[in-house]
Amino acid sequence: MSAEERAVSGLQQRIGRRLSVEPYYMLVEQSPERLELASRSDANRSVGMRVVAGGAAMIVVALIIAVSGLWSAGAGSGFAVAALASVIGGLLGGLGFQRMLGGYAVLTTYNTLVADAEAQTLVLRQASRVGAARTQLLRFHQITSLRLNRRPLAVGWPIRRLQPIVALELLVGEYVWVIETAADAGDLVALAQALATVLDKEFVRE
pLDDT per residue as tens, the chain (206 positions) = 444 688 998 899 999 888 889 999 999 999 999 999 999 877 777 776 788 788 888 888 888 887 887 776 666 666 676 677 778 888 888 898 888 888 787 777 889 999 999 999 999 999 988 888 999 999 999 999 999 999 999 887 678 889 999 999 999 999 999 999 999 999 999 999 999 999 999 888 87
H/E run at residue 27:
strand 25-30
Give the C-alpha separation, 99 to 30, whole Å: 38
| Architecture of the domain defined by 5-36+110-205 | Roll (2.30)
Domain boundaries, the chain: 5-36+110-205, 47-106
Three-class HEC string of 164-179:
EEEEEEEEECCEEEEE
Helices (H), the chain: 45-72, 79-107, 186-199
